[in-house]
Amino acid sequence: MVLDDETFMLKLVAHMLKRLGFKSVITYDNGLAALEWVALNSGQSTLILLDLNMPDMDGMEFVRKLVALNYAGTLILISGEDERILQTAEKLVRAHNINALGHLNKPVTMEQLSAMIDKSFLLQSQPEVAKKTYRVGELHAAIANGELINYYQPKVSVTTAMLIGVETLVRWQHPVDGLVFPDQFIGLAEEHGLIDALSEVVIRNALVQAKKWLTAGLHLHIAINVSMNNLTSLTFADFVYQEAVTAGVSPLDIMLEVTESRLMLDQRIPLEVLTRLRLKRFRLSIDDFGTGHSSLAQLRDIPFDELKIDQSFVRGARHDDTARAIYHASLALGQQLGMAVVAEGVEDIEDWKMVRNSQCEQAQGYFIGSPMPATDLPQWLADWTQRMPPTPVVQP
């Protein structure tokens, strides 16, 4: 269905859809009539191309009414408005749980439309599998049975492409389900008081691995994710320090990445723990900077050494003026405060070029290397050195 108050646009887009192979294309020039059709045809799989600006009922109002009809089809937004309005509208549609394929700027071209529809068929052919949820007892047993293993993702210098360190990312090697990702069990661990036990295993394994690499002649910085819940325990700083001493790894080589995913009512204990970690010479990183509570007030209050710019401001930022502006502002802020800055989510060569041109120091992402078991790191390093040989930049 095409819904647009301009008759010419209706004809044009309908024609394009027919050329793309859609057998049945209906057009409406007002929201009310279109809604009636939707109400009567709820059994059909429908794609609606919706103009945002219409005189009687505008696109956003139309979407709200679609939600009331439990619309289960897909939607593409079309408008001559500026990119930011279209982006926000698209986010709003998704927040209503309507499958939005994307947005198109007027005038719509055949290339744009066909690319977006192709994407839709791709999505249809890979339906998202509902993620399994686990019970707390299962996770408890997994921790005790040593089923949690660490993966490591390389962090490289942007100027020289040299490997600087790795970030530790936990995985659950489930005996039946295979590799389970942290978004399926970190929250569970936090809610049920298992996060300390989980972090102890992750930290111990990471430090033992760091020492192995050191012995093999590979001096790497090891980053470890720390939950805000870990920091509510006064013994956490002593625990990490003891583990570092036991493993024989200097705290200076250990970066603790902190994200505040929920609001902490009482900041006193976390602040004490973080300050004591700094006094013991561990290094602290503010993770996912620019999102949630990972923000300016934290920069002011906590002595961070490193700032990681959230992936959402890096990946594909060349197409997104707002994301790029936030990226550059975060980078400048980190640099002004004397912090090391890492760009996360560098997914392709274009992201890498953007980061490289921006004078950001370090980068991490699928383009460089995905998280991998420790044993794969030497092979990755050999491949990376081939692919991106270190090229020292001549200082002006």
Binding footprint of ligand C2E on the chain (CB under 6 A) = 153, 169-170, 181-183, 186, 199, 202, 225-227, 257, 259, 287-288, 311, 315, 345-347, 365-366, 371
Of the residues 51, 288, 351, 361, which one makes contact with Ca ion according to CB under 5 A: 288
**CB atoms near residue 349 (< 10 Å):** 10
Distance CA 287, CA 170 (A): 16
The answer to whether residue 361 forms part of the interface with Ca ion (CB under 5 A) is no
Sheet holding 47-51, edge to edge: 27-28, 2-3, 47-51, 74-79, 99-105
Binds 183: which of Ca ion, ligand C2E, none (CB < 5-8 Å by kind): ligand C2E
The answer to whether residue 330 forms part of the interface with Ca ion (CB under 5 A) is no
For the bound state, the minimum distance from the C-beta of residue 93 to Ca ion, rounded and expressed in Å, comes to: 26
For the bound state, the minimum distance from the C-beta of residue 185 to ligand C2E, rounded and expressed in Å, comes to: 9
Give bridge partners of residue 49 from the DSSP assignment.
Answer: 2, 76
Specify the length of the chain in residues.
396
Helix (H) / strand (E) element for 288: namely strand 283-289
Binds 380: which of ligand C2E, Ca ion, none (CB < 5-8 Å by kind): none
The answer to whether residue 260 forms part of the interface with Ca ion (CB under 5 A) is no
Which parts of 210-249 interact with Ca ion (CB under 5 A)? 225
Encoding tokens for residue 208?
A: 């033992």
Binds 51: which of Ca ion, ligand C2E, none (CB < 5-8 Å by kind): none
Q: Which of residues 25 and 388 has its CB atom nearest to ligand C2E in the complex? A: 388
Amino acid 334 reads G
Q: Which of residues 225 and 330 has its CB atom nearest to Ca ion in the complex? A: 225
CA atoms within 13 A on the CB side of 161: 18
For the bound state, the minimum distance from the C-beta of residue 108 to ligand C2E, rounded and expressed in Å, comes to: 29
The answer to whether residue 153 forms part of the interface with Ca ion (CB under 5 A) is no
Q: Which of residues 73 and 182 has its CB atom nearest to ligand C2E in the complex? A: 182
Q: Which of residues 225 and 358 has its CB atom nearest to Ca ion in the complex? A: 225
Stretch that binds Ca ion, among 117-125, 236-244, 253-261, 326-334 (CB under 5 A): 253-261
Distance CA 175, CA 163 (A): 33
Question: Beta strand 340-343 with 362-363: parallel, antiparallel or unpaired?
Answer: parallel
The answer to whether residue 51 forms part of the interface with Ca ion (CB under 5 A) is no
Which parts of 161-180 interact with Ca ion (CB under 5 A)? none
Region class of 338: left (phi > 0), else alpha (psi between -120 and 50), else beta:
left
> What are the φ/ψ torsions at residue 42 (nearest 5 degrees)?
-65, -20
For residue 221, give the nearest of 315, 340, 301, 330 by alpha carbon: 340
For residue 2, give the nearest of 57, 61, 50 by alpha carbon: 50
For the bound state, the minimum distance from the C-beta of residue 77 to ligand C2E, rounded and expressed in Å, comes to: 24
**274 near 303, Cβ under 8 Å?**
yes
Stretch that binds Ca ion, among 57-65, 242-250, 252-260, 348-356 (CB under 5 A): 252-260
The answer to whether residue 287 forms part of the interface with Ca ion (CB under 5 A) is yes
Q: Which of residues 199 and 362 has its CB atom nearest to ligand C2E in the complex? A: 199
For the bound state, the minimum distance from the C-beta of residue 317 to ligand C2E, rounded and expressed in Å, comes to: 12
The answer to whether residue 306 forms part of the interface with Ca ion (CB under 5 A) is no
Give the list of residues 6+ apart from residue 299 with CB closer than 8 angstroms, or none: 286, 307, 333, 337
**164 near 220, Cβ under 8 Å?**
yes
Binds 5: which of ligand C2E, Ca ion, none (CB < 5-8 Å by kind): none
In angstroms, how far is CA 176 from the centroid of its own chain? 27
Q: How many residues bind Ca ion (CB under 5 A)?
A: 5
Give bridge partners of residue 2 from the DSSP assignment.
Answer: 27, 49
Q: Which of residues 108 and 166 has its CB atom nearest to ligand C2E in the complex? A: 166
Q: Which of residues 257 and 260 has its CB atom nearest to ligand C2E in the complex? A: 257
* CB-based closest residue to Ca ion: 257
Q: Which residue has the tokens 């790795």?
A: 166
For the bound state, the minimum distance from the C-beta of residue 355 to Ca ion, rounded and expressed in Å, comes to: 15
**5 near 51, Cβ under 8 Å?**
yes
Which parts of 5-34 interact with Ca ion (CB under 5 A)? none
Binds 202: which of ligand C2E, Ca ion, none (CB < 5-8 Å by kind): ligand C2E
Give bridge partners of residue 256 from the DSSP assignment.
Answer: 224, 284
What is the contact surface with Ca ion in residues (CB under 5 A)? 225, 257, 287-288, 344
